Every structure is written in C-alpha cells, then in structure tokens.
Chains A and B, each alone.
Chain A
Amino acid sequence: MGKENEIIVPLKILLEEHDEEKVKTLLNSFSCSKNLEVENFLKNSAILFEKLNKSRTYLIFKRGTTDILAYFTLTISILKIVDDDVSKKTLKKLDGISKEKREFPVYLIGQLGKNDKFWNEISGKEILEKAINLIYKANEIVGGRVILIETLNNEKPIKFYEENGFKILQKRLDKKVDKNTGKEIIAEYVQMYRII
C-alpha cells in the first residue's frame, strides 16, 4: 500500500474534534497480538499521556475510513550515564562546556505497532519513516542528537531496526503483572539508538 492510501492523524487533534468516549471506542478496535503492550498502551494509556503532554500518539488510518492501520508514540526522554569511570575528556567534547554532564536528551519512539486486522496493508518501514520524519521536524526546531527505541528481545524487530540505522545499546529485564489476567509477565527488552 502506498502513501496515497494512508493518512496520519495526531491523537491530540482527534480528542479536540471528537467526544473522548468515541475516541476510546475507536482505539479499542486496535489489536496487536504480537505485542500486547503496544495494544494495551493505545487502549489504556495513550489518551491520558496525551492529556498530560507526556507523549504524542499518531494514528495511521486507511484513507477515507476509520480503520487504524498502525500507530506510533513519540516523546522526549533522558539517557543517563551513571558510570563514573567514563572519560571526562569525551564528556566535555560532547557537551562543549561541561565535563560533568552525563545526561543526554533523546527522542524516544515509545510505541510502534501495526493492527492485526490490516497487517499487510502497511509496512513497518513506512511507520518508522513517518515517526523519524516527525522527529526530524522536532529536531529542526529544538535540536537533539539521539533517537531511542525499546523493543522486545526478538530477532525480527532487532533486525528491522538495525536495517533502519539503529544500533543496540543495552538489554534489560522487566517483570510485571498483567492487570487483566493477573498473570506474571517476564520480558527482556533491547534498547536501541540512532544518531541524527
């Protein structure tokens, strides 16, 4: 499917133009069985995060319809180096002024996922391209040097991001309890970055 068949809508605009309950119902039509976190975020947190200005969610619709093909969420985050042995010379070179600065502002692609129902109608590359283009837009206004993503530690998504210029930063483990089922979920994530 080409660009002419899809349309990108900020969730913020949808909330301004329509009743919140109706938007919620629309978001509930999204499903992503490959990554339930992606699905749950859109259904349970996206609106709240939008209201709190914590992140911005963009929905990609099939043109002329209310079918959500995919979505992604962008935000700003911080990457912090806590190891004291890191070369101060390097830190100063990067910051330009301070050799003590160990925190870097980063753009975070917090969520990115396709709808099960329209899996073949949009490619991951197209979604990522839109997300990165929006980051470029933000970069033109406020600067910034790093894009960060976090994905499940599976070969396929890692390969996908590597093909699109991302490098592995580090891995992390996470344990949580599913609010709906009460079951324990243990997930291993991979954090990846791309320098702008």
Chain B
Amino acid sequence: MLPPKKVNVLYEIKNVTNYVISIFKNFTNICFFHHNFPQPKKFKKVKYYLIKLFICLIIINSYRVITMATLLEEGICIIKDKKVAERFLKDLENPPKTDWREIRKRIKQIEKELEEGEEWAKKMKL
C-alpha cells in the first residue's frame, strides 16, 4: 500500500518511461530500418546498448504496474493515522464474545464441503 504522494511520483515515472520508450522506438526505427540512414561500424555497439536500455525500460515499466497493487498483492496494510490506530486498538482490546460451539459447527460444515469439493475436482472433466 502506497501513500497518494508516492503513487503520484511513481505515476510520473511511468509517464516519463512511456515517453522515453516512444522516442527510442522512433529512433531505432529510423536508425536501423531506414536504408538511407548511414550506419558506421561503431553504430553496432550503440545499437546493442540501445536494445539493452530499451529492455531495461520495459522491465521498469512493468515493475511499476505491479507496484500499484491491491492489498493482496502488496501484502501489508499500513495505518498512519493516529485516530485510526487508536480506534482499531480499542476494538482489539474489547473483542466481541464468540460462540465457539457455533464456530466449531461451522468449521465441521466447511470441512465436509471441502471434502465433497475435492472429490468433485477429481471427477470433473475439463
């Protein structure tokens, strides 16, 4: 989970990356695929580095997309606000009364359902 400011910064990085990628695409198109464009020997090395850089940019780009994720993907929930934290801790201090007998029944029920499900998974024709 990222704070909005960090989200904005990362989003700008993404935009800049996209822009740079588009420039490189055009540049490589002109340099390597246009017959009239002069191609000295040293250009081969440049071409190699440009391709490497281009791949790096794509990786950075895809990483950013992964970074902006749901709680499930991020794996951590951060509480920054004191009021939110105090409210949560207060609730945790005074948990609701739990009927464990009822819960055990529910556990048995779901175990039975899972057993049935596993049997069905084996028979299922996909």
Contacts and interface: CB of A to CB of B under 8 A. Distances in A.
Interface of A: 3, 7-10, 13-14, 17-19, 22-23, 25-26, 37, 41, 45, 49, 54-55, 61, 63, 66, 73, 75, 77-83, 85-87, 90-91, 93-94, 104, 106, 108, 110-111, 130, 133-134, 136-137, 140, 145-146, 148, 150, 165, 167, 169-170, 172-177, 179, 189, 191, 193, 195-196
Contact of B89 (A85, A91, A165, A189): A91
B110 A169 contact: no
B78 A80 contact: yes
Interface in B26-46: none
Nearest to A59: B117
B116 A93 contact: no
A87 B85 CA distance: 10
Interface of B is mostly: helix
A77 B71 CA distance: 9
A100 to B, nearest CB: 14
B59 interface: no
A14 B122 CA distance: 8
Nearest to B96: A195
A110 to B, nearest CB: 3
A188 to B, nearest CB: 10
Given A14-B121, A110-B70, A145-B95, 7 more contacts: A17-B124, A90-B93, A108-B72, A110-B72, A130-B113, A176-B68, A195-B91
Contacts of A25: 126
Contacts of B89: 81, 86-87, 90-91, 94
Contact of B85 (A9, A22, A81, A172): A81
Interface string B74-96: 01111111101110111111011
Given A83-B79, A130-B110, A146 B116 contact: no
Nearest to B74: A77
Assign chain B's interface to a size class.
35 or more
Candidate in B71, B80, B122 with the most chain A CB atoms within 10 angstroms: B71
A179 B65 contact: yes
A172 B1 contact: yes
A106 to B, nearest CB: 7
Nearest to A140: B107
B79 A173 contact: no
